Structure 1
Amino acid sequence: MQPEVFVEILRESMFMVILLVSAVILPSLVVGLVVAVFQAATSINEQTMSFLPRLIVTLLALSWGGNWLLTKIMDFTYHMVDLIPQVTG
């Protein structure tokens, strides 16, 4: 059992987390930035105007990318199960 195996598992896990989270968060960040620029340009400071579009875009990103997200998680889980003999023996 080599320490490099654990470092590799941690690296793959962190990459998977970053990939899956960014697929949902980045569209929301872009919409939030557009709404913030619009609010700054028009001097409208309404909280729901900022929250509702980001919520809708986040839900759309989850619904459109849900199959891809689930496939990535399942492939990663299968890969981790395949690594069990290498880690234990």
Structure 2
Amino acid sequence: MTPEVVMSMAYQGMRITLFLAAPLLITALLTGLTVSLFQAATQINEMTLSFIPKILGVFTVLVFAGPWLLKLITDFTRELFTNIPLMLS
């Protein structure tokens, strides 16, 4: 296995990881920002108030983007296992 193959596999793995994590992290970030703005506007200083909207937002994104995320990781894994004989030669 050449260094180029290893770097290509590492690049693909990091790219897939980014694609899998980004929708969930962006949703949690935007929900937290919205709740924080609401708390600042109403002067409600309850730290636990942001957890439930974040959980609901992430769950909603998982419901809608879950099939795409699952297809993405399945295709990557299938491609990785298919290319194992090519990597050994």
Instruction: Report if TM-score (shorter chain) is over 0.5.
Output: yes
Tell me which stretches of 4 or more aligned residues in structure 1 moved more than 4 Å.
Answer: none
Displacement, 1:86?
Answer: 2.0
User: Which residue number corresponds to residue 83 of structure 1?
Assistant: 83
Runs (5+) with no aligned partner, structure 2: none
The percent of aligned pairs where both chains have the same amino acid is 37
2:81 partner amino acid? V
Q: Which residue of 1 aligns with 2:15?
A: 15
TM-score (ref. length: structure 2): 0.93
Higher relative CO (CA 8 A, sep ≥ 6), structure 1 or 2? Answer: 1
- Over the aligned positions, Cα root-mean-square deviation in angstroms equals 1.0
Query: Residues 35-54 of structure 1 correspond to what in structure 2 (within 5 A)?
Result: 35-54=35-54
Give the number of equivalent residue pairs: 89
Deviation of the 1:57 alpha carbon? 0.3
Corresponding residue for residue 25 of structure 1: 25
Separation in structure 2 between the aligned mates of residue 85 and residue 3 of structure 1, nearest angstrom: 17
Amino acid at match of 1:53: P
Q: Distance in 2 between matches of 1:60 and 1:47?
A: 22
